[in-house]
Amino acid sequence: MTPGRHRPCALRLRACGALLVMILAAVMTAGREAAASGEAPLVLTLEKAITLALGQNRDILIAAQDRSKAEAQISEARSGALPALNVSAGYTRNIQKPVLFLPPNSLINPTSSTEEFEIGSNNAYNVGASLTQTLYNRKVGVALDIAETYRDYARESYRGTEQGVSLEVKKAFYGVLLAGKLVEANRQGLEIVKANFENIKSQYQRGTAAEYDMLRAEVEVANSEPLLISAENNLKLAKNSLKNLCAIPIDQEIEAQGDFAFEELPGAGLEQAKREAASNNAVIRELSLSQTMQQKNISVERANLFPTLSLIGGYSWQTEDNSFHFKNYQWAQTSSLGLVLSFPLFDGARTSARVQEARSEYEKIRFAKLKAEEALVIQIESAELRMTEATKRIQGQEKSIDEARRAVHIAQTRFTNGVGTQLELLDSQVALTRAQTNYAQAVYDYLVAEADWQFAVGLPK
């Protein structure tokens, strides 16, 4: 075959590659111009992102309402020990008045038949007040204890929500930094292949490089453009995730600022933090308080077997009249004071069943706490293993990046001098991008594992 037979195919390949480069370049340019036309981005550090999230994250706001609800429940439980005062008023129109039946052959009814005698008036009024004060009810004191424990539970739940949101913000923030590093690595890779293409194109025009090499370099540029666009899209998605956690409007541009580097945790405090993890971990503390509440709930159900003693009192004003001349009414006053003792004799075994249910709930929470404590040990160990693994990968990739950069320089020099191939150059460029990507991923993995470890042992957010 002669070289001329391949020229039409080569020219079509070259034209398609050039067209793809132009389209992708136009898309990237339009995206950059749209971003540049907006308002200045909101600069976020990790600390600022966490502060914003703790102030306006939706989960935090929900937990705050639960905390307020717990405070209200204490007042509700305390109300059982306070007196209840009620005031009432009523009006009755007697369309047919009530009657008394007078027996026959009596002093008031000398006739031989029973007679009816109407009583009351057309209008009847009643105004009264009643007072009830519980003197003894075993449920009241226990209910107040449960409400106070629930308040502690709600506060601990709020603290746990804060720690959970802080953890998610850290991961999202690190995700933005990682996506930025990947954009940077792909952009550097694109710049390298573009520079290589321009170099080979210049050599081809001078007749020192083959057309195949130029087309190969042009296609490599076209293949690298989508990788950069994909990395930029991933960066935008990562920023949107961070915005959602911080309750930042989705159309607000943000910029994450921070060193994408790791610093190993000091070994002195690691063991102590692990020993105190069970008492500091938010999940374990919530389960402990829930277990306490359920234990007290058993006492509440048992209280149904005990008597209740209450003081009751009442005062009322009554009157009746056929007219509506209120100033002429005569009011009768009545008052009363007494004690009411209620003692349950038999409720169909309902109380014993409720006590058994409460005990079962208590046991469920106790087992859940044991399970959580066992899982906590595994979670801490897993985080430590991931940190160790990521540290070794970081150390290895640091060396790989230096070697990859040297390999690119050597491959470029060899290719320029005509002793190396373009395949060597492209392979070295791909290896450099891969090394930079792996390094960034390793740093991200370490930071995420460290955040998981801190959350597990209950360190401050």
pLDDT tens, the chain, 461 aa long = 444 444 444 444 444 444 444 444 444 444 454 444 457 889 999 999 999 999 999 999 999 998 888 888 888 888 888 889 999 999 999 888 888 888 888 888 888 888 888 888 889 999 999 999 988 888 888 888 888 888 888 988 999 899 999 999 999 999 999 999 999 989 988 888 888 888 888 888 888 778 888 888 888 889 889 999 999 999 999 999 999 999 999 999 999 998 888 777 766 567 777 778 888 888 898 899 999 988 888 888 888 888 999 999 999 999 988 888 888 888 899 999 999 999 888 888 888 898 999 899 999 999 999 999 999 999 999 998 999 999 999 988 888 989 988 998 898 888 777 777 777 877 888 888 889 899 999 999 999 999 999 899 887 66
Q: Tell me the helices (H) and strands (E) count for the chain, helix number first.
A: 10, 8
Length of the chain: 461
- What is the rounded distance in angstroms from the CA atom of residue 294 to the CA atom of residue 146? 8
pTM value is 0.74
Contact, 415 vs 360, CB < 8 A? no
Q: What is the pLDDT of residue 16?
A: 44
Per-residue confidence (pLDDT) for residue 282, from 0 to 100: 85
Q: Which of 302, 307, 305, 299 is nearest to 347 (CA)?
A: 305
- Alpha-carbon gap, residue 184 to 232, rounded angstroms: 9
Structure tokens, 30: 């339009």
Of 140, 128, 137, 129, whose CA–CA distance to 84 is shortest? 129
Number of Cβ within a 10 Å radius of residue 284: 21
pLDDT value for 6: 41
Q: What is the pLDDT of residue 126?
A: 93
The one-letter amino acid at 26 = A
Q: What is the pLDDT of residue 267?
A: 64
Count of beta carbons in the 10 Å neighbourhood of residue 72: 11
Mark 197-232 as b/e (b = at least 16 C-beta within 10 Å).
bebbeebbeeeebeeebbbbbbbbbbebbebbbebb
SS3 154: helix
Other beta carbons within 10 angstroms of residue 108's beta carbon come to 9
* Structure-token pair, residue 161: 């929500």
Q: Which residues of 186-268 form beta strands (DSSP E)?
A: 254-256
Beta strand 308-321 pairing with 332-342:
antiparallel
Number of neighbours of residue 404 by Cβ within 10 angstroms: 20
Buried b (16+ CB within 10 A) or exposed e, 344-382: eeeeeeebeebbeebeebbeebeeebeebeeebeebbee
What is the distance of C-alpha 253 from the center of its chain?
23
Handedness of CA 215, 220, 223, 225 (dihedral sign): negative
Residues 6+ apart with CB under 8 A from 106: none
